[in-house]
Structure 1
C-alpha cells in the first residue's frame, strides 16, 4: 500500500452560470462534459475532473499574495515552448482573455488566461517529467 497523496483528482471552480460556463470550457478549452445539473457541471480535461460550481456573483478562485498581486490557483502544463505559443495564439483566436507570454525567471515561459467569471489560470511550457514519462509516448 502506498500511503501518500497520489494526485489531485478534482478541482472546483466558482461560476455564475453553469450552462454558459460549461459551454465556454467545452468550446474554448476542449473540455468534455461528464454531468450537469442546476448547481454544477462536471468536466473532464487536462487529465482531471473539473467541477464548475454555481456561486454568487463576484466569486473566483483567484487570491492576492502579500504584495497585493492577484494570483491563480491552477497552472496547466504544455509540452514545450512551441506548444505554449500555439495554444496562446489559439486562445487569442478564440477570443479568450490572455496575458502576454512571459519569462518569470525560472525554466520555461508562461502566460495567464481568464474564464468568463474572471477565474485566472496559468499555462507553463514545461511538462512535468514524471507525467511525461508515465503518460506521454516517448518522442
Structure 2
C-alpha cells in the first residue's frame, strides 16, 4: 500500500468559455476564484481537505462523463456533496440547469442526480458521505 498520496488535490474540468464557466461554478457550487489566467482558473471551496477545481480552456467540446455498459446509464466522474439533495435539485431546475432524474432510495433516503455545466460536462450531486469525509 502506498503512503505517498493522502487525498485529491484538484479536479480539472475542460471548458470552452472560461468566463461563463467561472460564473456557473461560482453560482452553482459557491466556489471562489483563487486564480484566473487567460485560459484557466483555479476555484476553491475554502475548506481544508476539499479539492480545488481547475477550469482549463479548450476548443473541443467533449464533455466529461462515461456510459456504464452494464446498465446504459451515463455517469459523471465528480460527485458533489449536499445534505439538501431535494432542495438543491429543485433550485437547479428553477435556474433552468439541465438535470437528470432525482434518484433517492426510499429505505435510507440516500441518493443523487446529475446536472450539466455550460459545456455539457456531467456533474453529480449526492447526499452520501463515506467514512473519513
**TM-score bracket for the superposition, by shorter chain length:** 0.7 to 0.9
Question: How many residues were matched structurally?
Answer: 127
TM-score of the superposed pair, with normalisation by structure 2:
0.82
**TM value normalised by structure 1:** 0.79
Show the counterpart of 1:127. 129
Runs of 4+ in structure 1 over 3 Å off: 103-107
- Give the one of 74, 80, 97 matched to 2:78: 74
Say which is worse superposed, 84-93 or 103-112, in terms of deviation. 103-112
Return the alpha-carbon distance in structure 1 between the equivalents of residues 40 and 95 of structure 2: 24
Compare the two structures and name the one with the higher helix fraction: 1
**Partner of residue 11, structure 1:** 11
CA RMSD of aligned residues (A): 2.3
Q: Is the 8 A contact 1:28 1:96 kept in 2?
A: no
Contact 1:34 1:42 in 2 (8 A): yes
Structure 1 residue aligned with 2:28: 28
- Contact 1:61 1:73 survives alignment (8 Å): yes
Which 5+ residue runs of structure 2 have no aligned equivalent?
A: none
| SS state at 2:62 partner | coil
Shift of 1:9: 0.7
